[in-house]
Amino acid sequence: MNLPIYASTGQKVWYYSFRVICGLIFFFLIAPILIIIPLSFNATDFFTFTPEMLRLQPEGYSLKHYQDFFTNNDWQNAMRNSLKIAPVATLIAVVLGTVAAIGLSQSHVPFRRAIMATLISPMIVPLIISATGMYFFYARLGNYMVDSLGMNANIVEYIKIVLAHAALGIPFVIITVTATLVGFDRSLTRAAASMGAGPVRTFFKVQMPLIIPGVISGALFAFITSFDEVVVVMFVGSAKNKTLPWQMFTGLREQISPTILAVATILVVLSVMLLVTLELLRRRSERLRGMSPG
């Protein structure tokens, strides 16, 4: 990769210009995300750097957009709704997904390809189509639950969104958990069984600790899918269930308020935390695999 000493001028020019080009592409990737962070501390309601901000004067900066986010009822409701929906959807996706991934990784599974394709499909089908399909079907399902089962309309709304989001998160759990199971040494479960452990005990004591990194990263994917999802929730839910991305979407479409930048910054911090967690998990997983004899 390093430039050899015998490189010609042309090669040197290309070597350095290639680095510059790559630098520019990296800049294109990361700059839009980073630039909203200082902008969110803007003391005015503009979406650009004011002269005060450029001169780094403290008057140019303020936390007022953050204050607005934490005091405004719309935003707080949206935040609460998001936090109510995403964890439950994630839980459903992870429990069902992990069990199914273990089933799928057995050596003899009939119709494996077809089953896999079905389970992954929520990830492939464009969101707008999933949303359209769910819009029609869930409306009827909801009416049935309210009219025939006599359930509370608010709870039904909530259940509808959670089910839809769980379906969207499942492919990610399946993919990450099956990927971890590929490196799983099957003789370990046999060893556990030969020592008298039942299937449940084997699962929790032997298999689970080894595949936990895959399960957690699948869970993170499922969580972020639900937390970040806006199309399906707009079609399936009602205004009462407005989530954070939905609120952002309306804000961006109607009158864009600088509070969005504060929310965006908070979400960027959240994704940095996710990224770090995933990296730590990956390292742990690699370390564990290095130790296992398979």
Partner 1 sequence: MEQIQTLNGVPLKKQIARALFKQKMRALLLIAPLLIFILITFVIPITDMLLRSIDNSIVSETLPQTTASLETWDPKAAQLPDEATYLALYNDLKLAIEQKNHTKLGTRLNYESSGMSSLFRKVGKDVSKMQASVSYKEQFLAADKAWGDLKTWNLLKLYSPEYTTGYFLAALDMKKTPDGIEMLPESDRIYLNLFARTIFMSIVITALCLLLGYPIAWLLANLPMRTSNLLMILVLLPFWTSLLVRTSAWKVLLQQQGVINDILVWLGVITNAGRLELINNQLGTLIAMTHILLPFMILPLYSVMRTIPPSYMRAAKSLGATDWTAFWRVYFPQTIAGIGAGAILTFILAIGYYITPELVGGTQGTFISNRIAYHISSSLNWGMAAALGTILLTLVLVLYWVYDRIVGIDKVKLG
Residue type, 230: V
Cβ pair 63, 41 in contact under 8 A: yes
Least separation, in Å, of the C-beta of 50 and partner 1? Answer: 10
**CA–CA separation, 286 and 294 (whole Å):** 13
Least separation, in Å, of the C-beta of 55 and partner 1? Answer: 14
Restricted to residues 82-101, the positions that interact with partner 1 (CB under 8 A) are 92, 96-97, 99-100
Q: Which two tokens stand for residue 218?
A: 């699948």
Q: Which of 86, 161, 167, 233 binds partner 1 (CB under 8 A)?
A: 167
**CA–CA separation, 165 and 151 (whole Å):** 21
**Residue (84 or 135) nearer to partner 1, CB:** 135
Question: Which of 215, 216, 272, 252 lies closest to 100, judged by CA?
Answer: 215
The residue written with tokens 């399936």 in the block is: 236
Q: Which of 3, 13, 14, 74 binds partner 1 (CB under 8 A)?
A: 14
Tell whether residue 223 is a contact of partner 1 (CB under 8 A).
no
Give the single-character DSSP code of 111.
Answer: T
Contacting range for partner 1; rule: CB under 8 A; set: 55-63, 69-77, 268-276, 284-292: 268-276
Furthest-apart CA atoms within the chain: distance in Å = 82
Contacting range for partner 1; rule: CB under 8 A; set: 19-27, 69-77, 149-157, 286-294: 19-27
Restricted to residues 101-160, the positions that interact with partner 1 (CB under 8 A) are 102-104, 106-110, 115-122, 124-138
Least separation, in Å, of the C-beta of 11 and partner 1? Answer: 7
Of the CA atoms within 13 Å of residue 289, those in its CB half-sphere come to 16
**Residue (29 or 149) nearer to partner 1, CB:** 29
List, as one string, the DSSP characters of 140-194. HHHHHHHHTS---HHHHHHHHHHHHHHHHHHHHHHHHHHHHHHT--THHHHHHHH
Least separation, in Å, of the C-beta of 160 and partner 1? Answer: 10
**Residue (33 or 191) nearer to partner 1, CB:** 33
Q: Which of 16, 18, 70, 144 binds partner 1 (CB under 8 A)?
A: 18
Helix (H, G, I), strand (E, B) or coil at 256: coil
Contact map string, positions 40 to 69, toward partner 1, x by CB under 8 A:
------xxxx--------------------
